[in-house]
Amino acid sequence: MAHILVAGKLHPAGIERLKAAPDMTFTLVDEISLESYLPHVGEADAVVLRTQPMTAEVVAAAPRLRIVSRHGVGYDAVDVKALNARGIPLAIVGDVNSRAVAEHTLMLMLAVARKAAQHDAAIHRGDWNVRNRFETVELDGKSLLLVGFGRIGRRVAELARAFGMTVAAYDPFVKPDAMAKHGVRPAADLVKALAQADYVSLHMPGSTAGAVIFEEEINAMKPGAILINAARGGLVDEVLLDRALREGRLGGAGLDVLAAEPPAPDHPLLSNDRVLLSPHAAGLTAECAARMAVASVQNVLDHFAGRLDPALVVNAAEMGYHR
């Protein structure tokens, strides 16, 4: 009988799937931290993991571990090399969150462009005349650059075009004709493309090399441009972004992710009124949370049943899986 450790709060749909599984026991640890689940890994044959780290030390403390299933698609905080050394597959949930993240991206774009947070705060303090400042801008007729053109990027492109935006994308791993099929103009040079975009939205995995939007990229952006990041914290140099916003070189930013989460109380972006923040929640709608919970649990069950989809295994090649 296999024992599953669920490290982090799981939607009830996922718990029901666990309860229905024969020959399985499980432990639920609602708190999302390394310290909360570490004492339980020694008894786990499988771990369903939220966003907390899984270090080499955690893997070493889990002698029975046979699979790790991420409750999501990112795995920046997982030591994949440590899993590879033990022959442990790392599974992700596939395309369950692209709709939710794409909608959240458009929400951030609209809210920053229309200064939704600032207007709400002004009305609450009695300043109805904020409406006469004529500071908000539209999406219709504006240009959007997508940095990354995977499932989420494609969905954002579809939604943005419905708002009347022209869309370009920079992604060296996607062929230009694949972009053109979605009505998107391929951009061969990131810096040149940034100079032409009214809105820039990031949709790429985290980079071990550090920020992708750094000094050259921020300086290249069109004056007044709006930056959106619902992808990975660390893709943007937050100090340089804060400076560009305070100096008025950029029009605003909508960020669902930060390099360190939660941010320190003195993080400069917290006091920047040109920034709209959300708590890494783009993929945490009720519907998406249910899909991710069921999918992450199902990956574990499929592994023990010998039918785990290799396309969902990050380290498939190292495990000898054939996609």
Which position among 103, 243, 280, 318 bears the catalytic label? 280
Is 155 labeled as catalytic in the residue annotation?
no
Cα 306 to its chain centre, rounded Å, is: 29
Beta bridge partners of 228: 201, 254
Burial class (CB in 10 A: 0-12, 13-18, 19+), 323: exposed
Distance CA 161, CA 183 (A): 8
Cα 194 to its chain centre, rounded Å, is: 21
Question: Closest Cα partner for 254 from 97, 106, 130, 51?
Answer: 106
Query: Is the separation of the CB atoms in 258 and 238 below 8 Å?
Result: yes
Burial class (CB in 10 A: 0-12, 13-18, 19+), 76: middle
Q: Give the phi and the psi of residue 192 in degrees, each rounded to 5.
A: -65, -40
Is 261 labeled as catalytic in the residue annotation?
yes
Is 247 labeled as catalytic in the residue annotation?
no
Q: Cβ contacts of residue 61 below 8 Å, gap of 6+? A: 38, 41, 42
Strand pairing report for 252-255 and 24-29 = unpaired
Which position among 31, 135, 215, 261 bears the catalytic label? 261
Which position among 232, 274, 291, 303 bears the catalytic label? 232
Longest dimension (CA), the chain: 67
Angle at 225 between CA 166 and CA 250, to 5 degrees: 175
Please identify every residue annotated as catalytic: 232, 261, 280
